Structure 1
Amino acid sequence: MGEERDSPLSLQLLFPGKVRLNINTLTSALVGFHPSLAGVEFRLEARASEVMDAEVSTARWSRHTVQGVVFNRPMPAAIVESCVAPAHYGAPLKAQARAHQSHALLFYKGEEKDPLEQYVALGLVAVALATEGALVVLNESAHTSFPAQPLVPGPGEDVLELLRTMPLTALYVGFVKLEVEGVGGVWMRTYGASRMGLPDLAWHARSHEEAREAFELFSGLLEYLRSTGARFMDGHTAEWEGRQVRIRKPGSEETFLDASGELFVLEPR
């Protein structure tokens, strides 16, 4: 638990085939995303070897440093499955993701303290790599993933603003549905919120049809906590877009709601 909190934030990407980094292409992609990236330096630190078949690169701009490692071999299947299975996109892309041939790991190594801005920096490099044909962007600590190609900006689109304003539960915090043996309904919960200094949240839904409502509830409440610095406590109440909830710690019988940090259960009020 402590090791995860102390480790750098990370995103990962899956590619359908072999990848060789083109530093000039990646630099041009980053520079084209936003004027604040005009001074970016993208360097290849280590070339592929026969043993590792990996390339190490570093992107630096402003207060940010993102280290990337591209491996021309599949990512461990268990990690891929934990991020792809609960994700909210179609079966064809999930099948492609599972059949990937190479992957990249991105680590935040810069001076920025705000976890959201760290994720945004990681996201910018991920989108640059997505121009090389990446299938999905993974967040292993959040048990989630997101299609890579829709993140690549078209003419006039601001990918920096997109990465800053997308729902936290789209990529930075995971949204997972759990069917627990012997328990009716569907549990819905977040993963990885502790990496942003936030509590994970859980909701016991009557059916899968409540997924959209729970997704929006989690996103809204987590963004409220992030932007205001407020804290939830056992017994508190909260409201989001007219929905009032009670907040409590998990009960002794809810051991399936394990978390690396704080977790609160939301109940209708």
Structure 2
Amino acid sequence: MSLFARLFGKKSKAENTNIKQSIGLSVVFKGSLNFDKDKLLDKLRFLDSSITNVDYETPAGDLEQGVFALVSWGKHVVRLIGFNEPFPADVLETCVAPAHYSQDIKDQIRKNDSHVILYYKGNDEDVLEQYLALSRLAACFDEFNALAVINENAHSSLPTNVLSDLLSDENSAKSLCDCLPLFFCGFVKYILEDAKGVWMRTYNADAFGMPDFAVLANNHDEGSYYFDMFGNILSYLRQSGATMNPGDTMEIGDNKMLSLRAPQKDEYFLKDKGNVLVVEMSK
């Protein structure tokens, strides 16, 4: 068994052993891993002014192969595992290809040399707070040749400097939380050969105990409309605790009605580990 295989199964006293399924984010870098832990923690304190004490532990000591550390503050504990090798290309592509930043930046990200994986192992039960903790720590790597932060389950990614800028501003950080499709619940568009239009859907809403939403739009130009719609619906569900199921309807303004149904048999591409509801519009 390799060293990193053993580390993935290793638990520290600081970690919450009751977490069955840890959420995670990854960070990809240009060049080999090389960061200063003190500067990393200083940046974390800057992004979260509520932090009074933060610890950086290396339970296995310094490693030549990569990094294994635990970063903890307040209720939060993050397991950090770093590899001096590129992030898996197939997984990376599902997160980079649909992203809304330039092709040049995407090409740089695809040529990454190393990466770290951050797993939430703390005690905050709010999944959004867990993601914020991971995001703040991920953004701290911006000063150490980090290229992008990857949310594998959401099929989403953001350049590290963009995420750092968002979290540095209170209003922008609030937007990141209020509009989940920005990063935490990815918004993906794709075309299928037999489809008369463009499929658009969210990913990872199940992490928040909510359904994902999908729609067959007429064209790419409707992307902004459905991005805002899905973001508003997810925000409403998260804040109200309400649920939505196949057969439900909702008035959304402009005398339009939204109805929900389960994916049909020939819509197999919508079926994954989460619960997906297909939106149909009518006047």
TM-score, length basis structure 1: 0.90
Structure-1 residue corresponding to 2:89: 77
Amino acid at match of 2:53: G
Structure-2 residue corresponding to 1:222: 234
1:167 deviation in Å?
Answer: 1.8
Pair 1:210-2:222 in alignment: yes
Query: Conserved in 2, the CA contact under 8 Å of 1:137 and 1:145?
Result: yes
1:32 deviation in Å?
Answer: 1.7
Query: Conserved in 2, the CA contact under 8 Å of 1:188 and 1:205?
Result: yes
Q: Secondary structure at the match of 1:32?
A: helix
1:92 deviation in Å?
Answer: 0.5
Structure-1 residue corresponding to 2:49: 35
Question: Which residue, 15, 19, 24 being the options, matches 2:29?
Answer: 15
Gaps of 5+ in 2: 1-18
Q: Secondary structure at the match of 1:264?
A: strand
Amino acid at match of 2:26: Q
Amino acid at match of 1:180: L
How far apart in 1 are the matches of 2:172 and 2:137?
Answer: 11
1:67 deviation in Å?
Answer: 1.1
Pair 1:98-2:110 in alignment: yes
Check 1:166–1:26 CA distance in 2 against 1; reply closer, same or farther (3 A cut).
Answer: farther
Structure-2 residue corresponding to 1:128: 140
How far apart in 2 are the matches of 1:42 and 1:25?
Answer: 12
Check 1:152–1:168 CA distance in 2 against 1; reply closer, same or farther (3 A cut).
Answer: same
TM-score, length basis structure 2: 0.86
Greater Cα offset, 11-20 or 162-171 = 162-171
Structure-2 residue corresponding to 1:262: 275
Greater Cα offset, 35-44 or 171-180 = 35-44
How far apart in 2 are the matches of 1:66 and 1:162?
Answer: 22
How far apart in 2 are the matches of 1:236 and 1:155?
Answer: 36
CA RMSD of aligned residues (A): 2.2
Query: Per-residue displacement from partner, 1:187-219 (whole Å, max 9, x unpaired)?
Result: 101111111111010011011111111111111
Query: Conserved in 1, the CA contact under 8 Å of 2:136 and 2:167?
Result: no
**What percent of counterpart residues are identical?**
35
Amino acid at match of 1:260: K
Pair 1:174-2:186 in alignment: yes
Amino acid at match of 2:225: E
1:253 deviation in Å?
Answer: 2.0
Query: Per-residue displacement from partner, 1:214-266 (whole Å, max 9, x unpaired)?
Result: 11111110111111110001111124465531111111221121121211001
How far apart in 2 are the matches of 1:144 and 1:241?
Answer: 29
Query: Per-residue displacement from partner, 1:115-146 (whole Å, max 9, x unpaired)?
Result: 11110111111111223221111111111111
Amino acid at match of 1:107: Y
